[in-house]
Chain A
Amino acid sequence: MFAHRHLLGIEGLSQPDILSILDLAEDYVGLSRQRDKKRSVLKGLTQINMFFENSTRTQASFELAGKRLGADVMNMSVASSSVKKGETLIDTAVTLNAMHPDILVVRHQHSGAVALLAKKVNCSVINAGDGRHEHPTQALLDALTIRRHKGRLHRLTVAICGDINHSRVARSNIILLNRMENRVRVIAPPTLLPNGIGRMGVEVFDDMRKGLEGVDVVMMLRLQQERMQGAFVPSSREYFHRYGLDEEKLSHAKPDAIVMHPGPMNRGVEIDPNVADDPNRSVIQEQVEMGVAVRMAVLDLLARNIPGGPGGAS
């Protein structure tokens, strides 16, 4: 029983919630590999994707997920519309709400903005990333990818490397992996670590080789262009030298360790192209595939709780 109206973060999910999503997503992986990929569990429902921050892959993934399940999907590129003319987030939400959507998928550049919007609308809201707070579907797709490769999602050692401080992906993954009882390490220079990281249930390393020692999974994070030029790290080439994942550094991990990246990658900054494109180690393309399946599962589970639906009040 998945008893949530919204998916705003991993923080609100229990172990059984996470497993329900992953188990259902597993079915949708199969469906998406068939010739006929259509289901009708969202038939008649309207899904609006509102991206206040530009994103190609996440938006496409949500669009495809909704369409495969039979929803009417609309994309609003809010980054370039009335919001720029001074309309507030809440005005936009109230306007949209009047159009009776059933599911809103929202990305916003400010932490907490998606939760704020969820309070003002009547429909289900999925957080597609808010500021540096959470990006729950990314953590879920990562979890699904790990489980498929490692056969389990507990008692694994996972290293998350890179710009932890500015990353919502890192926060959601730290919460999820801890909740599923894994050992989590973070590897980064101190300038890219958030305050209090030592009390988030992770082991902290600034030496990448030591941090990768014996890990099952290596998760790389993207380093934003504007943070490469001196304020947080001296240069992209020094960053690559100390924190870029190359074959030598990867050799400290377990021989069967997998390499993940949420994309889009900066080849030669945080990851060596040889590692990124190594079919025996890199599961980066598979993460994209799992993304669609996980989002289908989330849409399906939330839709069951919409009034009038199979699991919702009438």
Chain B
Amino acid sequence: MSALVLRNARLIDPATGRDGPGALLIRDGLIEDVSHDPAPALPEGAALVDCGGLPLAPGIVDMRVFVGEPGERHKESYRSAGEAAAAGGVTTICVQPDTAPPVDDPAVLEFAMRRAEKASAVRVAPMAALTKGMKGREMAEYGFLLDAGALAFTDASHPVSDPTVFRNCLDYAHSLGALVVHHPQDPAMAAEGCVTESLFASMLGLPGVHPFAERIMLERDMALVEITGARYHADLVTTRGALDALRRAKDRGLDVSAAVSHHHFTLNEHDLADYPTFFKLDPPLREEEDRAAVAEAVADGLIDVICSSHRPQDEESKRQPFEVAAYGAVGLETLLPGALKLFHDGAMGLPALFERLSLAPARRLGLPGGRLAKGAPADLVLFDPGVPYVLDRFSLRSKSKNTPFDRRLMTGRAVRTWVAGREVFRRG
């Protein structure tokens, strides 16, 4: 493969905190050299891309993505998810195991990865089920699943309610060095609720789940991590109470991390005024105080990772009364503009933002990406942080169009995306 030079770029490197002019030399899918001269000498026969001074950053590693294969290809296939990811500047999607059947068996994992390899434009990093059938009773075959390529174990949106089972999962996974990802929502407290419990929910007449359903489960998990010493990641932390628990656990030196989706720090419960089912998420959108606290926690690093929590749903499952409509929103193509809100608000600089989007998730999953350094994979996103536009949900590449940002004014988006030095997206 011949060399490629990306020059006249504003390099954003979260690993060094650098934000300045430069150029990259790419060869054989890797970054061969990083130059702080925006127009370095060209090696012989190298292709050239002028970045026009726009920011060039390590591609996003999205830790929470649902793809409908196997079982629900009409909602999202590896092809459509890959296209959506590439258009969103996401170069690795960490796919969730709650497919039909769930990925709790090496054979299913191998099948899914074959499909991914064939169809996806971006890298696919699979998570496998934490318990068999994701039923929360017996642990899955972590050893076999690790051999088949699983990077972490989770029951996705199904929390493991039995503390003994969860303790054993943590213990056993710990012995293999595996990361356990959990959805910290107490299922008994969350059973009836479809929105966060609040005055606003009461006026809408919607059954609410108390925000402490999240804190209670996270507190329990932190206690079990203390017992087992396991590596733990909370997939979505969205409330002040849970942030307190997380801070205490980190202060004690436990090996824990947490993520939040861009929806939860850009939207709040007041977006639910007219019962719009595209805003029905799990966990639900929170009160403004929680939203603001979560945004602050992302900025100060208490929350390590920003993810999209990409959950495609067909039109039918959302064209329902709010209480019975399906949960979730697609997010691959809105993650970058959503995250950039923190940059435009002055809460954080671009290197710190890409620490949450690319470097931290890559590190947590043991992947080599997330940095602009010699020898790192040439997974890159060139983006225009300031371009304003109105989002049209039907312009999304995802098969499902369920985004709460439809017809909203967005700022910033990916312009070109490369995976292993190969261009997978270019805005036309």
Contacts and interface: CB of A to CB of B under 8 A. Distances in A.
B275 A195 contact: no
A200 B200 CA distance: 10
Contacts of A196: 198-203
Contacts, number: 67
Interface string A87-106: 01110000000000000000
Given A88-B316, A89-B321, A110-B324, A194 B275 contact: no
A168 B205 contact: yes
Contacts of B324: 110
A195 B202 contact: yes
Chain A interface category by residue count: 20 to 34
Interface stretch (A127-135, A215-223, A246-254, A306-314): A127-135
A194 B202 contact: yes
A195 B205 contact: no
Interface in A234-259: none
Given A115-B275, A116-B275, A197 B202 contact: yes
Contacts of A197: 202
A90 B324 CA distance: 13
Given A110-B324, A194-B202, A195-B201, A115 B274 contact: yes
22 contacts: A89-B321, A90-B320, A108-B321, A110-B321, A110-B322, A111-B204, A111-B205, A112-B204, A112-B206, A112-B275, A112-B322, A116-B321, A131-B205, A133-B204, A133-B205, A133-B206, A134-B205, A195-B197, A196-B199, A197-B202, A199-B199, A200-B199
Contacts of B426: none
B14 interface: no
Interface of A: 88-90, 108, 110-113, 115-116, 130-134, 165, 168, 171, 194-197, 199-200
Nearest to B322: A112
A196 B208 CA distance: 12
A90 to B, nearest CB: 5
B90 to A, nearest CB: 33
A130 B206 CA distance: 10
Contacts of A130: 205
B319 interface: yes
B203 A171 contact: yes
B219 interface: no
B323 interface: yes
Contacts of B207: 132
